[in-house]
Amino acid sequence: MAVGIFDSGLGGLTVLDAVAKRLPEVDFIYYGDSANAPYGVRDADDVFDLTKAAVTKLWDAGCDLVILACNTASAAALRRMQEAGLPEGKRVLGVFVPLIEALSERDWGDNSPPREVAAKHVALFATPASVASRAFQRELAFRAIGVDVEAQACGGVVDAIEDGDLILAEALVRSHVAALLRKMPNPGAAILGCTHYPLMETTFQEALGAGVKVFSQADLVAESLADYLARHPKLVGPKVESRFLTSGDVRQVSDHATQFLRRRIEFEAA
């Protein structure tokens, strides 16, 4: 048995890298639905159907626990899947609650009433679907008071990364940051609310300026997964081989993953 990590494409590899480093004894099966990426321009029903099919694939591959390492899928599908009821013994978790907990200075699962926090002006960068869902603002409102969030839907960035076009991805990040700064000239913090964006973190930080604290998810998710598995050790199970699965073109996806992660990654067709 292994823990499943799912993303629409390559972005979840940023989460996989961090969780594999934090939990070296755990095996992971990664599934990227690159044939259907980007999810961020699809409507909520479409994202839900694709996410459910992908998670079922990972459950069938032997993972009892699947992490949605995709904010767009977490926003559109997580609550709906959990409310519809999961198969016996299967679990699914999302990625943005650990991020919101870090921003709102909370420990894992602290459900106390919302309170004032240090971050007052927060820039949110996410896919058009995640921004439209307002899921970040909703989760933040449960935990923090008086935080002004300005959201920028970063159209095109996921496509450029999936196509391996670093130059276009950089240009798009700079123009989305400039658009955000026109609406909120002095953010104190920025959230990279898409798991693809840490692949461009240096560009985000440069464009925002050194004074802006950039929150990205990978390490925060790794900590909260370690905490969760310590409380649910049965979900790890016996050793299996870690694998990388894709619905896309195996050669192209492997090459682009290798380019961004700077280590050889071989995907298998799924």
- Return the number of the residue (97 or 194) whose C-beta is nearest ligand DGL: 194
Least distance to ligand DGL from the beta carbon of 207, Å?
A: 19
Contacts of residue 114, defined as CB under 8 A and 6 or more positions apart, other chains included, come to 104, 141, 142, 143, 144, 145
- Return the number of the residue (55 or 70) whose C-beta is nearest ligand DGL: 70
| Site of interaction with ligand DGL (CB under 6 A) | 7-9, 11, 37-40, 70-72, 127, 130, 158, 194-196
Q: Which amino acid is at 42?
A: R
- Return the number of the residue (104 or 216) whose C-beta is nearest ligand DGL: 216
- Return the number of the residue (38 or 187) whose C-beta is nearest ligand DGL: 38
- Return the number of the residue (130 or 254) whose C-beta is nearest ligand DGL: 130
> Among residues 1, 19, 65, 70, which one is catalytic?
70
Q: What CA dihedral angle connects 46, 48, 50 and 51, to 10 degrees?
A: 160
Please say if 70 is a catalytic residue: yes
Please say if 194 is a catalytic residue: yes
Report phi then psi at 4, rounded to 5: -90, 140
Least distance to ligand DGL from the beta carbon of 96, Å?
A: 9
Task: Count, in order, helices (H) and strands (E) of the chain.
Answer: 12, 12
What is d(CA 69, CA 229) in angstroms, rounded to the nearest whole number? 16
Question: How far separated are the first and last CA of the chain, in Å rounded?
Answer: 18
Q: Are 204 and 173 in contact (CB under 8 A)?
A: yes
Residues 48, 70, 250, 22: is their CA dihedral positive or negative? negative
**Could you tell me which of 60, 58, 71 has the C-alpha nearest to residue 28?**
58
How far is the CA of 257 from the CAs of 161, 177, 196, in angstroms? Answer: 10, 25, 11
What is d(CA 248, CA 34) in angstroms, rounded to the nearest whole number? 5
Least distance to ligand DGL from the beta carbon of 78, Å?
A: 12
> Among residues 194, 218, 222, 225, which one is catalytic?
194
Least distance to ligand DGL from the beta carbon of 115, Å?
A: 28
Least distance to ligand DGL from the beta carbon of 239, Å?
A: 28
Token pair listed for 95: 């990625």
- Which residues have a catalytic role annotated? 70, 194
